[in-house]
Amino acid sequence: MALGFAALLQLASRLPTEDEALGPNLDSPEAIDHLGPGPNFVFGDAVPAPAGGPFAGLFAQDNVAAQRFKVALKDWGRFAGAAAIAGRESSRTKLDLALTSATVVKALMPATTIPRRFFASAVIAPHIRAQITEVFDEIKYYPRIDLPMYRPLKELGDECFVPNLNLIQRDSVVALETNQEFIESYMVGVNHEFSRELLWREYPTDQRGSYFRQFWDVASHFDPTATDADVQREKLYDIPPIHTWPRSSELGEHDNRQANPGEERNEIVLVIRGELLRKYPTTVVYANAAKWQTKPNGDIDPAQERELVEPLDADMANPPRSIVRTPLYEAKVDPDIYFFGFDLSAEEAKGGTGDNQTDPAGWFFVLKERPGEPRFGFDDARAAGDHLETVNDLAWSDTGVAPGHSLAAATLATIALSAPGVDDEERQAQHDDDVKVVPAPVSAARWAYVLYQAPVMVAVHAAELLKTATD
């Protein structure tokens, strides 16, 4: 212990060297904190340590000059560090001469620079600018034939038009998606072969014309008497002129009716098979926007069936497209298969599940009997146990008349109607009207009221027709 105490006295009496006091890195602010205290520090020449015994330096503190000197040293350290970083030379990037020369040559190509310079200095009418494509030249005039080209395809065989068409059951409604890639490839082939035919018949052609641009039949949607018939026709074509297709595009990206043709988007086609449209050819077919039923707190109730969105009274004559959409095109395969194409994708038509409050409700497909064409008669039969709540429920079995015989004027002179359920507001309103008429004396007017068949409307939501394997 005595030996250790002697060594401590020797260290306390020896002054530290500059490297020991300042450390190896004088520019580091952290090194300044390791300097010893300077109670008698004076900037300039060194001053001998004052007397006070060998342990006086162990409890000493910096005077004001030492404190200010250490602060200045730290500032210098920060400045020296920043200066070293700022003065450091960055590594130079090697110039890729091959890439640079290729880029310059490509940018100076006349096929790029001349049209760019021309378009920047010339004023071109919009309808002319729309015809200018990647190829800066003029295409020769060619005939335009607006026949729907699905018909010759169908004549080759129903399977060529829609594969597995025989799997669609009779008296059913299904939804299919168009195959835009197939339509475009078919139309390119048709135009190519027609160009060869024109060339063989010595018609002056450069074989780049788009003679056929209509695949579907748009006659029901096209008004030839309109003042803008040509503009309307252009919007209804299935493909744009083939010579305007970008060279980098792919099949399926040239739907002329899309706002952005570059986006591949297949449309929904409603298929109806059966006697319905053959027996009632004036049936109205359209798509109607759906809406969710909500809970008392305003949240979507996915357990409830979706409802039709009703147009405002002011819009009934011409409902907005956000609520009602009529078919853009049609097709038919004899004898009883009808196709109706809508400007809706499968995702738009199906909508969401309702689990998220922002889920869209999708669309209904509606088959509606035309209100202006009344029908008279009775139902063929009424299910056993069904109550007679309105005169529209009357069936031939209620008349007591054998098949093939005539109705007597006094038949159904009295009709007993049952009250509908409390939740059926629509049938209750009809029941309230019927009970005022059925007691009236027998007359032609009463018979017309009794025999009148209310127009029928059937609405099927797209989610029912587009179910996936997980639904």
Residue-level pLDDT at 285:
93
pTM for this predicted structure: 0.62
Percent of the chain whose predicted confidence (pLDDT) is above 90: 23
Is residue 147 located within the same domain as residue 233?
yes
Residue-level pLDDT at 337:
92
Rounded Cα distance between 231 and 210, Å, is 17
Residue 348 · residue 266 · CB < 8 Å: no
Which pair of tokens denotes residue 309? 């969105």
Residue 352 CB partners (closer than 8 Å, separation 6+): 358, 359, 360, 361, 362
Which pair of tokens denotes residue 363? 């669309």
Is residue 81 located within the same domain as residue 104?
no
Which pair of tokens denotes residue 178? 């168009």
- Mean pLDDT computed over 165-170: 88
- 236-295 pLDDT per residue, tens: 899 999 988 888 888 888 988 887 766 767 889 999 999 888 888 889 999 999 999 998
**Does 22 have pLDDT greater than 90?**
no
Split at pLDDT 50, 70, 90, the class of 362 is very high
Is residue 349 located within the same domain as residue 443?
no
Split at pLDDT 50, 70, 90, the class of 132 is low
Is residue 367 located within the same domain as residue 381?
no
Is residue 146 located within the same domain as residue 211?
yes
How does 56-74 read in b/e, with b if 16+ C-beta sit within 10 Å?
ebeebebeeebeebbeebe
Is residue 165 located within the same domain as residue 202?
yes
Rounded Cα distance between 392 and 452, Å, is 7
Is residue 237 located within the same domain as residue 147?
yes
Instruction: Give the residue among 241, 459, 221 at the shortest CA–CA distance from 361.
Output: 459
Residue-level pLDDT at 21:
47
Rounded Cα distance between 321 and 342, Å, is 11
Establish how many alpha carbons lie within 13 A of residue 453's alpha carbon, considering only the half-sphere containing its beta carbon.
14
Residue 387 lies in a domain: yes
Query: Residue 248: how many CB atoms within 10 A of its CB?
Result: 8
Is residue 295 located within the same domain as residue 334?
yes
Residue-level pLDDT at 378:
85
Domain count, the chain: 5
Query: Residue 298: how many CB atoms within 10 A of its CB?
Result: 7
- 308-338 pLDDT per residue, tens: 998 888 888 888 989 999 998 899 998 889 9
- 207-240 pLDDT per residue, tens: 999 999 999 998 888 777 778 888 888 888 999 9
Which pair of tokens denotes residue 388? 């007679």
Residue-level pLDDT at 151:
92
Residue 392 · residue 420 · CB < 8 Å: no
Query: Residue 340: how many CB atoms within 10 A of its CB?
Result: 23
Is residue 106 located within the same domain as residue 29?
no
Residue 15 · residue 57 · CB < 8 Å: no
Residue with tokens 């959409």: 325
CA 126 to chain centre: 28
Give CB contacts under 8 A, 24+ apart, made by 59-64: 61/37, 62/37, 62/38, 63/38, 63/39
Rounded Cα distance between 338 and 72, Å, is 92
Residue 255 lies in a domain: no
**What range does the domain containing 363 cover?**
268-373+461-465
Is residue 275 located within the same domain as residue 369?
yes
- Mean pLDDT computed over 347-352: 91
The three state secondary structure string of the chain is CHHHHHHHHHHHHCCCCHHHHHCCCCCCHHHHCCCCCCCCCCCCCCCCCCCCCCCHHHHCCCCHHHHHHHHHHHHHHHHHHHHHHHCCCCCCCCCCHHHHHHHHHHHCCHHHHHHHHHHHHCCCCHHHHCCCCCCCCCCCCCCCECCCCHHHHHHHCHHHHCCCHHHCCCCEEEEEECCHHHHHHHHHHHHHHHHHHHHHCCCCCCCCCCCECCCCECCCCCCCCCCCHHHHHHHHCCCCCHHHCCCCCCCCCCCCCCCCCCCCCCCEEEEEECCHHHHCCCCEEEEEEEECCECCCCCECCCCCCEECCCCHHHCCCCCCCCEECCCEEEEECCCEEEEEECCCHHHHHCCCCCCCCCCCCEEEEEECCCCCCEECCECCCCCCCCCCCHHHCEHHHCCCCCCCCCCCCCCCCCCCCCCCCCCHHHHHHHHHHHHHCCCCCCHHHHHHHHEECCCEEEEEHHHHCCCCCC
Which pair of tokens denotes residue 371? 């209100």
Residue 92 lies in a domain: no
Residue 145 · residue 217 · CB < 8 Å: no
Residue 251 lies in a domain: no
Rounded Cα distance between 185 and 391, Å, is 56
Residue-level pLDDT at 289:
94
**Does 50 have pLDDT greater than 70?**
no
Rounded Cα distance between 70 and 190, Å, is 90
Percent of the chain whose predicted confidence (pLDDT) is above 70: 87
Residue 153 lies in a domain: yes
Of the candidate ranges 28-32, 368-372, 467-471, the one whose mean pLDDT is the lowest: 467-471
Is residue 115 located within the same domain as residue 151?
no
Is residue 279 located within the same domain as residue 365?
yes
Of the candidate ranges 77-91, 161-175, 224-238, 455-469, the one whose mean pLDDT is the lowest: 77-91
Rounded Cα distance between 309 and 330, Å, is 25
Mean pLDDT, the chain, rounded, equals: 82
Residue 134 lies in a domain: no
Q: Higher model confidence: residue 412 or residue 130?
A: 412
Residue 259 lies in a domain: no
Residue-level pLDDT at 3:
47
Angle (CA) 270 273 276, round 5°: 105
Residue-level pLDDT at 17:
47
Phi, psi of 222 (to 5 degrees): -105, 130
The amino acid sitting at 347 is E
Residue 220 lies in a domain: yes
